[in-house]
């Protein structure tokens, strides 16, 4: 079945490798306590993807490449009006000013890193992210974070539609369940960007001219 599936996608022209640029940026999606601290019902265990992501972000900063974090945060007045919160009611706990929307300190976030606050799944929708990346000269966006099937996928789709080459290290992404994690990585790899590993990303950044 898997081989047949691959054949179908190849015959349709999907799954080609993307050409990498020379000016990467790193987008760390929603590694906030509301998603990483399992004392909260919206969270899942994400320590290993966070640790691998941190290896990438520290190298990127050392080489002068931008690192951007995102968080989802709502004002009380939005809780009864936004359609997404009617479908995903648990997200209503992500209130502005609460610990749940703070970026997990284990990510190694620094005061010099950009932080984008969003209301939906995509890091691009309704935010200044595209302008921020363009002004920094980014041509290739490395996307990590949570959740793979939600905000990572939505951000990958909007990134490629915004003109950026997309790379997604699978071992730097996390989800609440394995099946949607794997299915969405497969779909990203076929249609929107290259799914790879932290080791590959690190090796590529290290080989770029300083």
Active centre residues (catalytic): 151
Hey, what are 7's tokens?
């054949």
Cα–Cα dist 15/190, whole Å: 4
Helices (H), 88-175: 129-135, 153-161
Cis peptide bond prior to 116, omega within 30° of 0:
no
**Residue (of 165, 143, 138) closest to 154 by Cα position:** 143
Query: Using CA of residue 9, residue 22, residue 131, residue 36, what is the dihedral sign?
Result: positive
Cross-strand partners of 173: 145
Cβ count near 48 (within 10 Å): 11
Cα–Cα dist 6/64, whole Å: 38
Cα–Cα dist 113/75, whole Å: 23
DSSP 74: B
Cα–Cα dist 30/121, whole Å: 10
Hey, what are 71's tokens?
């968080």
């Amino acid at each position: 079945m898997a081989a047949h599936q691959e054949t179908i996608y190849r015959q349709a022209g999907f799954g080609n490798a993307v050409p990498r640029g020379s000016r990467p940026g790193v987008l760390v999606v929603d590694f906030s306590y509301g998603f990483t601290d399992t004392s909260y019902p919206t969270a899942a265990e994400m320590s290993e993807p966070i640790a691998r992501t941190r290896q990438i972000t520290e190298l990127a900063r050392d080489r002068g490449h931008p690192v951007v974090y995102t968080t989802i945060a709502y004002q009380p007045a939005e809780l009864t009006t936004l359609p997404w919160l009617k479908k995903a009611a648990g997200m209503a706990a992500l209130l502005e000013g609460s610990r749940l929307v703070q970026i997990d300190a284990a990510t190694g976030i620094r005061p010099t890193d950009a932080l984008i606050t969003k209301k939906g799944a995509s890091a691009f929708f309704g935010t200044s992210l595209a302008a921020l990346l363009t002004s920094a000269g980014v041509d290739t966006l490395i996307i990590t974070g949570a959740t793979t099937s939600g905000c990572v996928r939505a951000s990958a789709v909007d990134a490629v539609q915004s003109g950026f080459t997309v790379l997604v290290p699978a071992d730097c992404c996390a989800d609440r369940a394995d099946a949607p994690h794997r299915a969405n990585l497969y779909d990203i790899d076929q249609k929107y960007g290259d799914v790879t590993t932290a080791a590959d990303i690190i090796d590529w950044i290290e080989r770029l001219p300083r």
